[in-house]
Structure 1
Amino acid sequence: PAPDAAIAGPANGQTKTIRMPKFSGRVYFSIGQKLVFKLTSGGLVQPAVQNPSDPNHDILFNWSEYTLNDGGLWINSTQVDMFSAPYAVGAKAPGGTVKNTGHLKAGGYNAVFSGLRSAGWGGLIQNRQDGTPLRALSPGHGIEAGGIPAGTMNDYINRVWNKYSSSTLTVTPFANEPNTKYYGRVSGNVMNFTNGSGAVVTSFQKPDSDSVFGCYKLLDAPNDTVRGPISRTLCAGFNRSTLLTNPNQPDANGAGFYRDAVTNHYSRLIHDRMADGKAYGFAFDDVGAHESLVHEANPQEAFMTLDPFN
């Protein structure tokens, strides 16, 4: 067992203030009972709700991710792993202005669950014994848990591969470097990207659905200046289903996201029910700044606001 670092939360309608160190990490909150954390020789064992035997499986909880350093505070509300107990994040500037994100529209919490059922993705939902939804798993975890088929995105992936066998996909990965472009063409099972000189800079095997949803494996994105940025852009295009409608990526027009019948319905529904349209529906939802993130260079306070479920 890990040392008990739990802090009793505020009562309904009240607040609690805690001091945070300069750090990068998570703040978990749970309702009704404490979360179970354990230690191994490799470090901290965090909740893994896609695992039905995880001791936290039947606990209603969520978490926020943050970094606080000399450059300020970055704090987000994340749905990369799951959609569950609603909350928003915010930060106060020295002048008193508060920036926040993550609030749902009225009725948005239940609308996400009902939307998943209507889309045929109800298998992502994990319920309490009384039938009350605890969470919806992200589709990558849903594949792992058997909630949606492993080939959910295959039709779209195949159509993308076919299109760029005879045409070129242009990726401009950095908004502040419009002249840095890479050109993708498919040959067999591989999409090769070349630079302006025609030299191959990186190649991608045809991804599977899990690679698309998780933005990893066959769409791995190392922290470099070429493969990682191209992979991030591909991942966003696959999840938002914009690769067939726009050969110039990333697509900046949010109105065109998630329009294909084969798409990431989980991310689509969460974005649609957010008050400001921002969410972290998948790992690289920050491509084009569509993520639910607040940054404040000189934060006076940070906020995690636990919202009503209705």
Structure 2
Amino acid sequence: MSRWGAAAAVAALVGALLTLGAPAEAAVPTTIPLKVTNNSGRGEPVYVYNLGTLLTTGQQGWADENGTFHAWPAGGNPPTPAPDASITGPAAGQSKTIRMPKFSGRIYFSYGQKLVFRLTTGGLVQPAVQNPTDPNRSILFNWSEYTLNDSGLWLNSTQVDMFSAPYAVGVQRADGSVGTTGHLKSGGYNGVFNTLRSQPGGWAGLIQTRSDGTVLRALSPGYGLETGALPASVLNDYINRVWQKYTTTTLTVTPFTDQPNTRYFGRVSGNVMNFTNSSGAVVTSFQKPDASSVFGCHKLLDAPNDLVRGPISRTLCAGFNRSTLLVNPNQPDTTTANFYRDAVTNHYARAIHAQMADGKAYAFAFDDVGNQESLVHDGNPQQAYLTLDPLS
């Protein structure tokens, strides 16, 4: 069964952690409107899906266009077809408003064809287009991720799993103002693919194209490793240089912007980077990571939901993906001019951020370190927005 994207977990975690114990600015209603606008210029029909976990009960299911929740029926082994959860989206140049319930989930949209969802005994099978046999592989689609709870809305655009059909998200606040993020620069969609095509080392292999020549998406580099598009050694040179530097230099991590005195100090000994606190006690250690651990911010860079290892790992992950660990021994480095400057870096993330109108994106799981993520949030949301942009 395919997993929820890493950014879904991040969005849900952000929603839970930032609001834990905090009073809501106002009572958030059971559902809020989501205005879907089709500015894609494409003539195919659009299908919209609102899938997720109902926060009040923990049940998984989908919401119809009125925001009414429907639990998934029991699945099977092999997986059985899921009920048709599609909502007919707006035609080109049109808008349609649906309702969002208190979910932690995804808003999918597809062009021309409905997505194929199946159910196993463990729940919903998400599209996994890194798999050549996935039935959704030839469909042009994408998704946004959100958490709506009693403390507000967190809604983001995401490229953690793939870069595909462009869109932006937004939220209207109680004062009538609207915050948006996720729009590409003019020509930015093609610009991302052109950057990957021109980058040696296998990065062009991340791009998936349909038999009719339509460019569908670029897979994230983690999936590029899985599919063999990128070599397992793609980050070895940078990782080796980082490990060598911090054999004789101390890496200082200050993971919380509101706690400048909470610092951890990393030094490498052999294959291990040990972190100590201000008292000199070792608080956590990391084995030398590989490219998969870096791109996915998992495995050897696992980030548990705690107050020590998780925050340090998030910081390391961001530093490795943005290649800032050699230019600054004080992390996180939030100076965007330092990002992606090394020849060995996450060129997928580099390409995406370079083409975003506001520079913000969720190009890897902890791209929110230093507030670089494409996220809108409001504690008293009046309306949410999903805008489908041109593929140009």
Q: Quick check: TM above 0.5?
A: yes
- Residue equivalent to 1:211: 293
- 1:38 partnered with 2:118: yes
Task: Provide the rounded CA distance (Å) in 2 between the counterparts of 1:110 and 1:146.
Answer: 23
1:259 to partner: Cα distance: 0.1
- 1:262 partnered with 2:344: yes
Match of 2:362 among 249, 273, 280: 280
- Residue equivalent to 2:254: 172
Q: Deviations over 1:98-130 (max 9, x none)?
A: 100000000000010010011121000000112
Match of 2:211 among 121, 129, 151: 129
Secondary structure in 1 matching 2:368: coil
1:88 to partner: Cα distance: 0.2
1:146 to partner: Cα distance: 1.2
1:296 to partner: Cα distance: 1.1
Of 126-135 and 159-168, the range deviating more from structure 2: 126-135
Q: Deviations over 1:236-284 (max 9, x none)?
A: 0000000000000000201110000000000001000000000001000
- 1:184 partnered with 2:281: no
Secondary structure in 1 matching 2:351: helix
Cα RMSD of the aligned pairs, angstroms, is 0.6
- Residue equivalent to 1:6: 86
1:144 to partner: Cα distance: 0.5
- 1:153 partnered with 2:235: yes
**Structural mapping, 1:93-132, within 5 Å:** 93-120=173-200, 121-132=203-214
- 1:302 partnered with 2:378: no
Q: Deviations over 1:74-96 (max 9, x none)?
A: 00000000000000000001121
**Structural mapping, 1:240-259, within 5 Å:** 240-259=322-341
- Residue equivalent to 1:236: 318
- 1:24 partnered with 2:104: yes
Which amino acid letter does the alignment assign opposite residue 124 of structure 1? L
Which amino acid letter does the alignment assign opposite residue 107 of structure 1? G
- Residue equivalent to 1:52: 132
- Residue equivalent to 2:161: 81
- Stretches of 4+ moved more than 3 A in 1? none
Task: Provide the rounded CA distance (Å) in 1 between the counterparts of 2:213 and 2:347.
Answer: 22
Task: Provide the rounded CA distance (Å) in 2 between the counterparts of 1:95 and 1:195.
Answer: 44
**Structural mapping, 1:64-75, within 5 Å:** 64-75=144-155
State percent identity of aligned pairs: 77
**What TM-score do the two structures reach when normalised by structure 2?**
0.79
**What TM-score do the two structures reach when normalised by structure 1?**
0.99
Task: Provide the rounded CA distance (Å) in 1 between the counterparts of 2:159 and 2:189.
Answer: 13
- Where structure 2 has 5 or more consecutive residues not aligned to the other structure, the ranges are 1-80
- Where structure 1 has 5 or more consecutive residues not aligned to the other structure, the ranges are none
Task: Provide the rounded CA distance (Å) in 2 between the counterparts of 1:147 and 1:129.
Answer: 19
Task: Provide the rounded CA distance (Å) in 1 between the counterparts of 2:268 and 2:116.
Answer: 47
- Residue equivalent to 2:226: 144
Secondary structure in 2 matching 1:143: helix
Task: Provide the rounded CA distance (Å) in 2 between the counterparts of 1:180 and 1:82.
Answer: 35
- Residue equivalent to 2:69: none
Which amino acid letter does the alignment assign opposite residue 219 of structure 2? L
Secondary structure in 2 matching 1:112: helix
Secondary structure in 2 matching 1:271: helix
Which amino acid letter does the alignment assign opposite residue 273 of structure 2? M
Task: Provide the rounded CA distance (Å) in 1 between the counterparts of 2:249 and 2:191.
Answer: 39
